[in-house]
Structures are given as structure tokens and as C-alpha cells.
Amino acid sequence: MFVRGIRGAITVDKDERALVLAATGELLAHMQKENSFETEDVASALFTVTSDIRSVFPAEAARLMGWDKVPLLCFQEIEVPEALPLCIRVLVMINTNKSQQEIRHIYLKEAQRLRQDLSLD
């Protein structure tokens, strides 16, 4: 068994608690579905948000999904001129037998621009 990282990102229209939680939950659910893992498989998750998101920690969405024993941390993304605003990013580390090539990274909404090579259509 290996520890593999799954990257994902999503944007919100504005910084509101309900929107951030819903978007984060959508992203995590999509990551979980596309990579066929259970909560028990998750080793940890690291979240970053752009500086214009301050209403809630995105990790709270994971807790609401039942990831209550998973180690979670939130960080602020570095500020780069002309970077994509209102963006939530995550790196989920899972225990799996999948190869690196089998991992499906998920980029939703405007975040698809970040990694067009990895975005699912």
C-alpha cells in the first residue's frame, strides 16, 4: 500500500460561510468519488485559501462529511499578482494501492484554469 496525494481546487463566487463550506464539500465528495476511497483511507488533508476567503476554515466541511478523525490543516495561499481569486485548494493524502497514474486530480469551476492538463471535462 502507498500514500498518494490527490490535488484539487474550486472557487466560490464570494466569501460566505455557506458558500465556502458547500464548495469544499463538493470538491471533497468529487475527489472521493473519482478516486474511490473511504474516509478511513485518508491519512491527512491540507487546505489553502486565497487571502480573500476568511469566513470559515474549509476543513470544517470535511468534518461535516464525517472526516472527524482525519488530521486536517488550513493555510493561506501565498499572494501572487493576478492569481485566481476566491480559490480553495486541497491536498488529500490517501492510503491506496493505486498507481500515481490512476489518481484523478479534481479542479472545479474557475479553478479548472489552474491545471487544464488535469481537469476533468
Q: Is 115 a catalytic residue?
A: yes
Distance CA(53)–CA(78), nearest Å, equals: 13
Q: Is 113 a catalytic residue?
A: no
Catalytic residue among 7, 34, 60, 104: 7
Q: Is 104 a catalytic residue?
A: no
Please identify which residue in the block is written with the cell numbers 468534518: 63
Question: Which one, of 33, 6, 26, lies nearest residue 93 by Cα?
Answer: 6
- Architecture in CATH for domain 2-112: 2-Layer Sandwich (3.30)
Quick: pLDDT tens for 9-37: 999 999 999 999 999 999 999 999 999 99
Q: Is 77 a catalytic residue?
A: yes
Catalytic residue among 26, 60, 63, 110: 63
Please state, rounded to an integer, the average pLDDT across all residues of the chain: 95
Q: Is 87 a catalytic residue?
A: no
Domain residue limits, the chain: 2-112
